[in-house]
Chain A
Amino acid sequence: MAGANSQILMTDLDFNTIKNNLKTYLQSQDTLKDYNYEGSALSTLLDVLAYNTQYNAYYLNMVANEMFLDSAIQRSSVVSQAKLLNYIPQSSLSPAATIRFVVNQVSAASLTLPKFTTFMSEAIDGINYNFVTTDSTTVAVSANTATFPSVSIKQGIPSTLSFTVNSTSNPKYKFNIPETNLDTTTLQVLVQQSSANASYQIYTKAENYLTLNSSSLVYFLQESLDGTYDIYFGDNILGKQLTNGNIVIVSYVVTSGTDAAGANNFVLMDSVGGYGNTAITPISAATTGSVKETIDSIKFQAPKAYSAQKRAVTKEDYITVIQQNNLGYAFDAVNVWGGQENSTPVYGQVFIAVKPAGAYTLTATQKQRLITDVIKPVSVMTVEPTLVDPDYTYIQMTANVLYDTKKTNLTSAQIQSAVKTAISNLAITNLNTFNSTFSATDFTNAIAAVSNSIITNEITVKLQKKFYPNLTTPSTYNLYYGTSLERGMFQSGVTSSPSVQFRNPLNLANIIDGVYIEEVPTSTGGLESIAIINPGYGYQFTPTVTILGDGTGATAEAVITSSGSIRAINVLTAGTGYTSAIVQITPNAADTTGALGAATATLIGRYGTLRTYYNDSQNVKTVFNNSIGTIDYVEGIVTLNSFGPIQVNNDLGQLTITAKPTTTIISSSYNRIITIDPYDSGAIVVNVTAKTT
């Protein structure tokens, strides 16, 4: 049989290639010759051989794929690979809401709100969701009223399972919880001594294996092969071992994932301690929660969790630790930077900006828990973590679209809506996170791609900052736009909406309504510096410097050298309102020789002034306060000084300050997020014009 083709190629996986390889191999002999004819017995045998070879090769290929984190497809394989990296994939997380719960007409001295007390939410998309308490809380009763000031309730159906320990049938002490959607943060494990002895001990999830010993009351958690969860116990070396007859009692909440996000109104489904007269006040609406971690996410997170080694040292470590928090908080984006990078460096601090999923900022309690329970236990001792809120810059975009009616059967309203959708979609992908860049060109291209009928389009961009003014104490607000701003005139410059109300300082009972903020037109401010053109000579005394121009209040003084020439002219008071200024140098009256000194003034272009105005009863525009704040055009900072309105005229009490950037490429860094507000109907304005021929 040996011959020129006696080597068989073994690397192919395709059926036909394998069969051809076998045929090539058979060519090296001449006993059997009919392998090329489909009807022959030999060909039929080759089919069987090739199929068998291909089957094995395919199977082996799949097995090899499942052996590596990068190529595994089965969830169980990915989870198992992640386990080697000490990574437990995140389970589903229940949306969690906070309520204030009051029980009236209580006769006892104290009242306990038991674990798994059930509340029902308002209908969300037609479905009422079950929310439960995950711990029991006891408060003292005062004046027949028990007040639970802040009760955390989680969406889901509570469930309890009991397993009796039997070392013969279950020698590994592994117990399966047959739920794929349980929220593992709600998992509580009790071990009762025996059916005869009801005393129990609480076991906690093993986190830090260095501290485990033979008496540690811990359980280990893992996702099982079918996506449910297994808990198992120690071996008297790492964690206390169970003994025969122990009863493991597991309680948990099975959630519907993110469906109940935003629920804010609840009714009690049970009575508490037999008392039914209750009142519920919402404190914070249900968080988004999250579905079980996806395979892609596990593949992404597990190696990072491994490299972080449960220590927060580098920026990536912090991000991983925060993303994987076991508090049930889900984040859209996390950014971390060292305090030395701040414009005023702060050493020994790490700044962390987080954007929670489904909300703008974390509450103070959530921040505190994140710091103390998540970051501090793993961060370097001498480094102080500081959580900062994201600073949102909202984009208000106007798109002008010209389209050709002959090339489309869409109406202009349909084109308008399609363009709006295209802009929102691009904003969702490109923006709304830290370290993102807004580029007008991207949006122009996205609009052009909406329909072939769009001939051209342009977009103009304004930036908005939104804040809640303190209505009781006048305060200073610094609004960072993150890019240089354009100097404007009236409505093209810095504006505000909605209107606010002020007390008239001359008559405090008198309230002035309809007050707006605007940029003072052509406010060029004063003098920035004075440059010497000719130092002159022979000055015996310091000459007088006078600033001539259309503004007022600018003063400067000259400094002369010992040889009698002018060394410098320092601006003492910048003055205001200058659009041109001439520097006049006048020798002292006693000076007989000083002459020829000359200098020019540079006007301040960097700062502008803000004022407030209202329209009085005759509808005449009246300035209310001619200097309420300043604009730093270069750094893009708007400052409102001692700004103390008593009312903002909208439901939220939120004031929006709009400014125009000098560029349409805007990047965010640190805690800044650029976004298009999905709740602001005016955030995207699309003007569609049909081309007329």
Chain B
Amino acid sequence: MATINKIYSDIDFAFTKKPVTADVALSYDAQAVSRSIRNLLNTQNYDRLFNPDLGSQITGLLFENISPIVASTMETIITNLITNYEPRAKIQSVKVSSQPDLNAYNVTITFYVENATLPTTTTILLERNR
């Protein structure tokens, strides 16, 4: 695959260092966007200073009884969240499946990022972690 121009670049959330330069590692394009989406999903309303609208109430839903209705509500919330706050991702699908044994939901998001020909799929496990 030919080198493509990287149009998105972000600091790696893990703050790992590059082995050669010892600089902070960066993440690019689809990887940067999928990490951003994960970050948004983990942000609750009022978490972010002076920006209370950012984030969602998903964490609250995780404490509800597991049911298809909750999963469906989560799908809507996640779709809205990405549409509003992550314009880089053009959503193809959002699937939330319950994992009752883990008390968790598995979120699979498929989206297109500009400059990439193939869709990106990212899977995020949402658990109660409070």
Contact = CB atoms under 8 A, between A and B. Distances in A.
Contact of B32 (A16, A40, A45): A40
Interface stretch (B49-57, B62-70, B71-79, B104-112): B49-57
B35 to A, nearest CB: 7
Contact of B48 (A40, A42, A45, A47): A47
A47 B49 contact: yes
Contacts of A47: 48-49, 51
Contacts, number: 58
Contact of A38 (B11, B13, B32, B51): B51
Interface stretch (A28-36, A216-224, A491-499, A613-621): A28-36
B26 interface: yes
B contact patch SS: loop
Contacts of B95: none
A38 B10 contact: no
B85 A38 contact: yes
B10 A41 contact: yes
A136 interface: no
Interface residues of A, number: 16
B44 interface: no
A38 B49 contact: no
B9 A34 contact: yes
Contact of B10 (A15, A16, A40, A51): A40
A39 B40 contact: yes
A468 interface: no
B49 A40 contact: no
Interface string A44-62: 1101000100000000000
A37 interface: yes
Contacts of A45: 11
A23 B49 CA distance: 17
Contacts of A44: 39, 48
Given A34-B32, A34-B36, A37-B86, A42 B10 contact: yes
B32 A15 contact: no
Nearest to A30: B9
Contacts of B37: 39
B50 A16 contact: yes
Interface string B1-35: 00000011111110000000000001000001001
A37 B36 contact: yes
Contacts of B39: 39-41, 44
A466 B9 CA distance: 89
Interface of A: 15-16, 31-34, 37-42, 44-45, 47, 51
Interface of B: 7-13, 26, 32, 35-37, 39-40, 43, 48-51, 54, 85-88
29 contacts: A15-B49, A31-B9, A32-B11, A33-B7, A33-B8, A34-B8, A34-B9, A34-B10, A34-B32, A34-B36, A37-B36, A37-B85, A37-B88, A38-B40, A38-B51, A39-B36, A39-B37, A39-B85, A40-B10, A40-B35, A40-B36, A40-B39, A44-B39, A44-B48, A45-B11, A47-B48, A47-B49, A51-B49, A51-B50
Q: List 9 tightest A-B contacts by C-beta distance, closest first.
A: A39-B36, A34-B10, A39-B40, A15-B50, A41-B11, A39-B39, A40-B10, A38-B85, A33-B9
